[in-house]
Chains A and B, each alone.
Chain A
Amino acid sequence: MGKNNVSLRGKNILGLESFSPEEISLVLETAQEMKNIIHRDIKKVPTLRGKSVVNLFYEPSTRTRTSFELAGKYLGADVINMTASTSSVVKGESLRDTLLTIEAMGVDAIIMRHKAEGAAEYATKVVEPVILNAGDGAHAHPTQGLLDLFTIMQYKKKFQGLKAVILGDVLHSRVARSDIWGMRKMGMEVHLAGPKTLMPRFLFEEPGIYIHDRIEEALENADVINCLRIQLERQKAGLFPSTREYARIFGLNDARLALAKKDVLVMHPGPMNKGLEISPYVAYGAHSAIQEQVQNGVAIRMALLILVLTGGKNIEANS
C-alpha cells in the first residue's frame, strides 16, 4: 500500500485518463526508488522473482520494448518478448486467441503495443493477467506520459502552474494524448502548436488545452517543451508540403527555443528526425533531457511493474 492508501495492485495501465493525481504521484515516487537501483553496480532486486511478464509487440519499438524488458529483468521477473512478425499472428491468429494462449501459459502481466486504438483495453476484456499498454495506435502511451512527468519533476521539482508546449503531429500521437491527460491532472497548462493538418480538428473543445497556429506564440514563456516525432509518411499523405518547409516553419531550433523561459526543458519521445522537427543543437543542447527520458523510462516501467504486480510493498524484499 502506498501513501494515502493509494494502490495500483492489479490495475490495468491503459491510459492516464483513469489515473488520479495521487496514483500518478505514487508511480513517480516509486520510480525514484527504482532509479537508485539502476545506478547500482548490481542492478538486480528479487522483488518480482517468480513472476512472468510477456512483451507482446505488434509494432516495432526500441525504447519501450527494451526498457520494459530491462525493467522486468532488474526486478527479477522472467520476461519473454513476442513480436507479431515471428509469432502465430502471421498465420492469422486473432488477438483474442493470441492473448488466451499467452494467458494459458500462466503469465502475470502482458505488456502490449498495437497499432489499433483500444487494443490494450480489448485485452483486459479477454484475459485475466494485468495489461500494461505500451502504446495503442494514436490513443495512449501511458508509460511515456508518466516518464515525461517524472522527467519534468526531476528538473522542475513541481508541476503546478508550469506551461507545457507540445509541438508537431498531435493528430497521430499517442504520446501527446497521454501527456495531455497526465499534465493537466498534475496542474500544468497544456499548449499545442503545429500545422493544422496535424492537429485534431475538435481538440479545442477539450478544457485546459490551448491550441496555437504558430509555434512561436505557443513557445513564449514555456517551462517544458515536448517535441513530437514527425513521421515521414505524413508528408506523402499531403499533410504538409515538404520536410524542408516543416523544418523552416515548425521545427524547434535555437532561435525559437529562446522564446521560452531561460530554464526551459526540452523533451522528445524519440526516435528523432534531427533537422526536421528538432535541430541537433537543441536535441543535444543544454536544455535537452532527451537522454534522461530514456533512463527514466526504465525507472517508470520498473515502478509500474512492481506496483501492479505487488502493490509496491517491500521493494527490497529478499535482497
Chain B
Amino acid sequence: MKQILKGGRVINPANHFDEICDVLIEDGKISRIGCDIEDAGADIIDVSNKIVTPGLIDMHVHFREPGQEAKEDFISGSCAAAAGGYTTVAAMPNTTPVVDTAAIVRSLQRRAEECSCVHIEIIGALTKGQKGEELAEVGDMTEAGAVAFSDDGHFVKKAKVLLNGFDYLRTFDKVIINHDEEPSLVEDGLMNEGHKSAMLGMKGRPTVAEDIAVARDIMLAEYADARVHVAHISSAKAVDIVRQAKKRGVRVTAEATPQHLTLTDECVNLYDTSTKINPPLRAQRDVDALLAGIKDGTIDAIATDHSPHAEEEKDKEYCYAPSGFPGLETALGVLLTELYHTGKLTIQEIISKMTYEPAKILGLEAGSLEAGKAADITVIDPELTWTVDEKDFYTRGTHSPFVGRIFKGKAIITMVDGEVVMKDGKIIC
C-alpha cells in the first residue's frame, strides 16, 4: 500500500529541513521525501497548508498499567496520545505493582502490542518498588527493552543509591530520569510557595526544593560521568543550574511541560483541583526562565507529564486530590496557541523538542523523517481553532486546567507505521 502526503510544509528537525513537498509512504515506511512525487498506485492525502512533522514523542506519560486502570490504561492512553498527535510515548513505572522487573516490562510490551494504537516505550523503575533503597534489575530491564529508568513521582532520597544507579547504568548506557523535589521541603505542600499560597493559607512547595535536588543530581551525575535527565523542570534557578552544568560538559538533559511553560500559580483556585500538580505551577519569572531555557537549548524536550486520575479522585477537597492532569490531548494546542502564534517560539523549536530531541535522549529510532524509517508522521493544522471539551477526551483523566480554553492549532492526522490512526480528532483504528 502506498500513500502520498501531498503539498504539506514538511519540517524535519534532524536535518533542519523545512520545505513544502511530498512524502511517499510505502509498506509502513517512508520511501521518499521530495517535490511533486507522482505515483499512480498511491492514495493521495492532501495536506496543503498543513505542517507535516515526525510523529510526536512524549517522553513522560503515566498510563497507569498495571493496576490503576480506573485512571487510564493502554487503550485509553494510546487513543489520547494519537488524538494529540503523538506516535510514541514513554510510560512511567509508578504503577501497581511498580515496573521494576524485566518480566513486567515484557508483559507491558506485549500488552502494548495487542491494544495500543501508538508505540509505547517502557521506562523501568530505578529502585525496587521505587522505594529508593536498592537498585532494581536495570540490566535485565534494559535487555528486555526498557528505554530509561526513573523513580518518577518520588525523589531518590539517598545520594548513594542514585550514585550507584549512575555508575551501574554506565554498562547499559541508559539515562536516569529524576523527579527533583527535596521531600522535607515539600511535605504536604499543595502549590508553589509564593504570595498566592501565603494569602490562601495553602502549604507551599518552594522552588528551592527543586533547585537543591537538581543541583545534587547534577553533581552526582558529573562525578560519575553519567547521564541524567531532569523531568518537568519548573524553577528559574533550576534552569540556570542545568545551563551552567551543560557549559561544563555535564551530560544533563531536561524537559519542561506545556503547563509549566504557560501557566502560573495565579491560576490556582481553591475549589478546582485541576491545577494541583507536582512540581507545582510556579511564578511568572519561572515561566519566563523556562522559555529562555527552551530558546537557548538548556531545556531539550517538551513532555506532557500526562497524569490522568479518576473523576472521583480529583473531585475532592484540594488537599485530598491526587496531583496531575492529562496532557496528551491539549499539549499541541497549548504550545501552538501560547508560544507559536504569540511569536515566543518558532514552529521548528517546538517540533524539535517534541520529536527529535526526546528521541535522542531515549535512544529511539523515531523522531525524524527519513527514507527507510517507519512512517510515524503527524500532520498539524496550525490555524485550526478548537475548544477544549472534557467530553471529547479519549483519556480517562478529567479536570484539566485547559478545559474550556480556545486553542489555535491541532494535530489532524496521526500516522503510525504508515497507518492513519487518527484523523480530524477521531481515532480510526
Does chain A bind chain B?
yes
0/1 string, A199-217, CB within 8 A of B gives 1: 0111101100000000000
Contacts of A115 in B (CB 8 A): 319
CA distance A136 to B178 in the complex (A): 35
Q: Which residue of A lies closest to B204 (CB)?
A: A201
Answer whether A139 and B270 are a contact pair too, CB < 8 Å, given A95-B317, A116-B319, A116-B320. Answer: yes
CA distance A94 to B317 in the complex (A): 9
Contacts of A172 in B (CB 8 A): 201
Answer whether A94 and B198 are a contact pair too, CB < 8 Å, given A116-B317, A119-B317, A201-B204. Answer: no
Contacts of A121 in B (CB 8 A): 269-271
0/1 string, A102-140, CB within 8 A of B gives 1: 000000000000111111011011000000000011111
CA distance A205 to B206 in the complex (A): 16
CA distance A172 to B200 in the complex (A): 10
> Within the complex, which residue of B193, B198, B271, B320 is in contact with A125, where a contact is CB–CB below 8 Å?
B271
Restricting to A247-304, which residues have a CB under 8 Å from any CB of B? none
B317 touches A202 (CB 8 A): no
Q: B104 at the A/B interface (Cβ < 8 Å)? A: no
CA distance A101 to B185 in the complex (A): 39
Contacts of A139 in B (CB 8 A): 200-202, 270
Q: B40 at the A/B interface (Cβ < 8 Å)? A: no
A201 touches B193 (CB 8 A): yes
Contacts of B312 in A (CB 8 A): 94
Restricting to A6-63, which residues have a CB under 8 Å from any CB of B? none
B200 touches A114 (CB 8 A): no
Interface centre among A119, A172, A200 (most CB of B within 10 A): A200
For chain B, the count of residues having a C-beta within 8 Å of the partner chain is 22
Interface centre among A96, A114, A116, A138 (most CB of B within 10 A): A116
B195 touches A202 (CB 8 A): yes
> Within the complex, which residue of B197, B202, B204, B270 is in contact with A122, where a contact is CB–CB below 8 Å?
B270
Q: A177 at the A/B interface (Cβ < 8 Å)? A: yes
Q: B168 at the A/B interface (Cβ < 8 Å)? A: no
Q: B155 at the A/B interface (Cβ < 8 Å)? A: no
Restricting to B304-326, which residues have a CB under 8 Å from any CB of A? 312, 315-320
Q: A191 at the A/B interface (Cβ < 8 Å)? A: no
B200 touches A117 (CB 8 A): yes
Contacts of B200 in A (CB 8 A): 117-118, 139
Q: Which residue of B lies closest to A122 (CB)?
A: B271
CA distance A136 to B206 in the complex (A): 22
B202 touches A96 (CB 8 A): no
Interface centre among B312, B317, B319 (most CB of A within 10 A): B317
A118 touches B271 (CB 8 A): yes
B404 nearest CB across to chain A (Å):
15
Q: A174 at the A/B interface (Cβ < 8 Å)? A: yes
CA distance A66 to B161 in the complex (A): 54
A118 touches B318 (CB 8 A): yes
B242 nearest CB across to chain A (Å):
24
CA distance A203 to B202 in the complex (A): 12
> Within the complex, which residue of A96, A124, A177, A201 is in contact with B199, where a contact is CB–CB below 8 Å?
A177
Restricting to B183-216, which residues have a CB under 8 Å from any CB of A? 190, 193-195, 197-202, 204, 206
Q: Which residue of B lies closest to A199 (CB)?
A: B198
A138 touches B201 (CB 8 A): yes
Restricting to A177-225, which residues have a CB under 8 Å from any CB of B? 177, 200-203, 205-206
CA distance A137 to B197 in the complex (A): 13
A278 nearest CB across to chain B (Å):
22
Contacts of B317 in A (CB 8 A): 95, 114, 116, 118-119, 122
A94 touches B204 (CB 8 A): no
B318 touches A116 (CB 8 A): yes
CA distance A172 to B188 in the complex (A): 13
Q: Which residue of A lies closest to B191 (CB)?
A: A117
CA distance A267 to B320 in the complex (A): 33
Contacts of A117 in B (CB 8 A): 190, 200-202, 270, 318-319
CA distance A225 to B165 in the complex (A): 56
A203 touches B195 (CB 8 A): yes
A237 nearest CB across to chain B (Å):
10
Contacts of A205 in B (CB 8 A): 195, 198
CA distance A203 to B206 in the complex (A): 14
B201 touches A94 (CB 8 A): no
B270 touches A174 (CB 8 A): no
CA distance A206 to B199 in the complex (A): 8
B201 touches A202 (CB 8 A): no
Interface centre among B194, B197, B198, B318 (most CB of A within 10 A): B198
A319 nearest CB across to chain B (Å):
39
Contacts of B193 in A (CB 8 A): 201-202
CA distance A201 to B208 in the complex (A): 13
> Within the complex, which residue of B194, B318, B319 is in contact with A202, where a contact is CB–CB below 8 Å?
B194
A15 nearest CB across to chain B (Å):
9
Q: Which residue of A lies closest to B202 (CB)?
A: A117
0/1 string, B203-239, CB within 8 A of A gives 1: 0101000000000000000000000000000000000
CA distance A136 to B201 in the complex (A): 9
Contacts of B198 in A (CB 8 A): 200-203, 205-206
CA distance A202 to B406 in the complex (A): 33
Restricting to A225-247, which residues have a CB under 8 Å from any CB of B? none
A200 touches B271 (CB 8 A): no
B331 nearest CB across to chain A (Å):
27
A137 touches B204 (CB 8 A): no
CA distance A136 to B200 in the complex (A): 10
CA distance A116 to B318 in the complex (A): 7
CA distance A96 to B199 in the complex (A): 25
B315 touches A96 (CB 8 A): yes
B195 touches A206 (CB 8 A): yes
Q: Which residue of A lies closest to B196 (CB)?
A: A202
What 8 A-B pairs are tightest by C-beta distance, nearest first? A118-B270, A138-B201, A200-B198, A116-B317, A139-B201, A205-B195, A122-B271, A203-B198
Show 13 residue pairs from A and B whose CB-CB distance is below 8 angstroms, ordered by the A residue. A94-B315, A94-B316, A95-B316, A95-B317, A117-B200, A118-B200, A118-B269, A121-B269, A121-B271, A122-B318, A173-B201, A203-B199, A206-B195
- Beyond contacts A121-B270, A137-B201: 8 other A-B pairs, Cβ-Cβ < 8 A, are A117-B200, A136-B270, A140-B201, A172-B201, A177-B201, A203-B195, A203-B199, A205-B195
